[in-house]
Structure 1
Amino acid sequence: MTVATRKVVLRFPAEVADKPLIYYLVKDYDLMVNILKANINPHKQGTMIVELTGEALEAGLAFAASRGVAVQPLSEEIVRSEERCISCGACTAICPVGALYVERPEMTVAFDGQKCIVCQLCTRACPVRAMEVKF
């Protein structure tokens, strides 16, 4: 069996937002869970963007779905226009995961798409609109 990795969006309805779903994914399905972004409120709807890794990835996702959690692939991505970017650094200050950073000593903005969680904060912060959402 091969170890699979996937970034997904988990949407929790109010009935299961306070249940230990992540605990079961780790314990019962031996999945490595990297929480990239989360907004979970007990007794209200919640959303998590996670990166899951493990041999039983599909079984773990099926378990989550069977508990009422909507599982969606993270199908959006952020792309950076090298031509438009003026390396002002406005996006680096707002990026919560460090996907945008200043390369030194050149002092140019660099983008690591693997770290990006598609929060879209950089698209709003960029004064020249060099950061765009691609579906």
Structure 2
Amino acid sequence: MYSRMLVLQFPKTEVEKPIVCFLATDFDLTFNILKATILPRQEGVMVMELSGAKKDFNRGIRYLKDRGVHIQPVGQDINRNKNKCTHCGACTAVCPTGALSIKRPEMSVIFNHNKCSVCGLCVPACPPRAMEISIVGNPIVK
């Protein structure tokens, strides 16, 4: 499975067409729309995660480009809001890379940003929602 976060910019001539739906039906891709601004007769912008077999993914990207859609990869980051963190340790149980750990004997949560793979498992696991996924510097999931 191949997966990428993308920003799609739709020309105003294409915003009223179900282009994204065709990614699922014609190219066997799955998508998760994270944010979209699509208005009639105006340029549209959508942030989405697109997933599927690499061959299908590449075919889907070619289809979008052929329709005049401008595509940019998205930078993604995980941050811990120190003011919200209660140091409960729930995030450490789901972190596959050890980026989140408990410092003993203080029992405080330590976040090693360099070890983080940005898998996002810590976000729903965090009861006070101190873990945040940011895309291009803007928090989108809290």
Shared fold per TM-score greater than 0.5? yes
Report the CA distance between 1:61 and its aligned residue.
Answer: 0.8
Report the CA distance between 1:17 and its aligned residue.
Answer: 1.1
Partner of 2:83: 86
Return the alpha-carbon distance in structure 1 between the equivalents of residues 27 and 80 of structure 2.
Answer: 40
Provide closer, same or farther for how the CA distance between residues 24 and 81 of structure 1 changes in structure 2, counting only shifts above 3 A: closer
Matched, 1:110 2:130: yes
Report the CA distance between 1:58 and its aligned residue.
Answer: 1.1
The gaps in structure 2 that reach 5 residues or longer are 86-122
Report the CA distance between 1:81 and its aligned residue.
Answer: 5.8
**RMSD in angstroms over aligned alpha carbons?**
2.7
Return the alpha-carbon distance in structure 2 between the equivalents of residues 119 and 36 of structure 1.
Answer: 14
Say which one has the larger Rg.
2
What amino acid sits opposite 1:111 in the alignment?
A: M
Partner of 1:25: 23
The gaps in structure 1 that reach 5 residues or longer are 89-98, 123-135
Matched, 1:47 2:45: yes
Moved over 4 A (4+): 99-102, 116-119
Return the alpha-carbon distance in structure 1 between the equivalents of residues 42 and 70 of structure 2.
Answer: 15
Number of residue pairs matched? Answer: 102
Report the CA distance between 1:62 and its aligned residue.
Answer: 1.0
Q: With structure 1 as the length reference, what TM-score do the two structures score?
A: 0.63
Report the CA distance between 1:80 and its aligned residue.
Answer: 2.7
Q: With structure 2 as the length reference, what TM-score do the two structures score?
A: 0.60
Provide closer, same or farther for how the CA distance between residues 28 and 102 of structure 1 changes in structure 2, counting only shifts above 3 A: closer
Provide closer, same or farther for how the CA distance between residues 35 and 109 of structure 1 changes in structure 2, counting only shifts above 3 A: closer
Identity between Structure 1 and Structure 2 (%): 33
Q: Which deviations, in whole Å up to 9, do the C-alpha atoms of 1:18-74 show, x marking residues without a partner?
A: 111012111110110111111001110000011111111111011101100001101
What amino acid sits opposite 2:62 in the alignment?
A: A
Report the CA distance between 1:118 and its aligned residue.
Answer: 4.8
